[in-house]
Amino acid sequence: MQEKKNVLQGLKVLDFTIALAGAYTAWQFADLGAEVWKVERFGSGDQARYWDPCVQEFGGQSTLFIAYNKNKQSIEVNLGKPEGKEIIYRLAKEADVVLENFKSGSIDRLGLGYEKLREINPKLVFLSLSGFGGSGPLMKYPCYDAIAAARSGFAASNGEPDGAPMKAGNANGDTLTGTYAFAAALMGLVEARRTGKGCRIDIGMTDVGMLSCCETLMDYDRTGNPQTRFGNHDRFIAPYGIFAASDGWAAIIADTEQRWAALCDALGLPGLREDARFATNAARIQNRDALVGELEAVTRTLPRAEIERRLLAAGVPASEVLPFIEMYTSDHANATRVTDLVWQEKVGQMRFYNNPLRFDNQLCPIHSGAPLLGQHTTDILQGAGYSPEEIDKLYADGVVASSMI
């Protein structure tokens, strides 16, 4: 698998985002070859730089920040100074996309909002990403992944039936919102190239979280019943879920009657096919707890790899539940180059995930790890047309900095 030229090469993204959802949006642009100028707060930078206990170990950078900011360039600017705003105006003139996730209205009060920047660049696609969107009674409140999961109904739909609501183990709300935001910005670019006019796009994490619960809405609309949690099993198909094995867990799905029959034979349970409690999918859902008990009486005696082998051989979708390190080092991960070693400043070689998109079966290259705070300030200013003397004065006057260099 060879690296392909960057498919978004030539695009320029002015990135004001902090934390994870906005950073993930910008990361997608950077991975696909766009030049991403990450505008960071003077003297401190993105708050995510300080979010985990490994900050000192990694030279003043959190692992979260490193994970979400590869391939970007960092410029450290004092936006409270007129000269700092002027730098942004110059960059906006050359940019194709602006990304921001300040508190609602903050970027407008800074004089850097859509109405101002589109005067400079009418084709600009300006994307505002927030917890609750740009309108409504919650718009002014802060929001993070767990808050969006709580407000959207996502957390209430996860967990064991009699247990607590449960958020996702990773920042899935951030990444899903970032994926929607990336797609929306690309659509805005298509429209701008067709019409010559940019647009402002608004996206809220909670709205995306609610959309991810669309089957819950359909179920409620149909039955009038409130959300029920099903733990590791599914509300619409049985068996469909995670089952105990002798050495861990295995995922098993029998979504057709043919696969249900094949599953029973593969696990040595032909009598279950004749059991009236399990005769149809509707019956199996009605008797889900009993079904899980019958299946786990067998699966608990088998290693997870053996469950996977038997069921795949019978044409039934199944997989071992792999601990992270097993997938990370698996033959499949190695064959598809899921990760690559990349140089990270102040750390050394670190392993990063490659972008999952493949173009003509070729990878999107990783050019660099996450930037140090202000690492590219001088380079970006030079690209914007500032002379060496002007750049020196901006540093001397406290307009720009390179704090981590």
The per-residue pLDDT for range 8-52, each reduced to its tens digit, is: 999 999 999 998 999 999 999 999 999 999 999 999 999 999 988
Mean pLDDT in residue range 283-299: 97
Domains of the chain: 12-211+335-401 (3.40.50.10540), 240-322 (3.30.1540.10)
Assess whether pLDDT exceeds 90 at residue 361: no
- pLDDT score at 4: 59
- pLDDT band at residue 6, thresholds of 50, 70 and 90? confident
- pLDDT score at 2: 56
Mean pLDDT in residue range 349-373: 91
- pLDDT score at 114: 96
* Residue in 15, 31, 174, 207 annotated catalytic: 174
- pLDDT score at 264: 97
d(CA 239, CA 277): 13
Assess whether pLDDT exceeds 80 at residue 54: no
SS3 61: coil
By DSSP bridging, strand 12-15 and strand 348-353 are: unpaired
Q: What is the pLDDT of residues 103-152, one digit of tens each?
A: 878 899 999 999 999 999 999 999 999 988 888 898 888 888 899 889 98
% of residues, the chain, pLDDT over 70: 98
Burial class of residue 100 (count of CB atoms within 10 Å of its CB; 0-12, 13-18, 19+): buried
Angle separating helix axes 172-195 and 145-152, nearest 10 degrees: 90
d(CA 165, CA 156): 5
Torsion sign across C-alpha atoms 19, 25, 26, 32: positive
Q: Is 174 a catalytic residue?
A: yes
- pLDDT score at 405: 67
Assess whether pLDDT exceeds 60 at residue 209: yes
Mean pLDDT in residue range 263-268: 97
What are the strands of the beta sheet with 400-401, ordered from one edge? 199-204, 125-130, 97-100, 12-15, 35-41, 73-77, 400-401
- Provide φ and ψ at 140, rounded to 5°: -85, -5
- pLDDT score at 133: 87
Q: What is the mean pLDDT of the chain?
A: 92
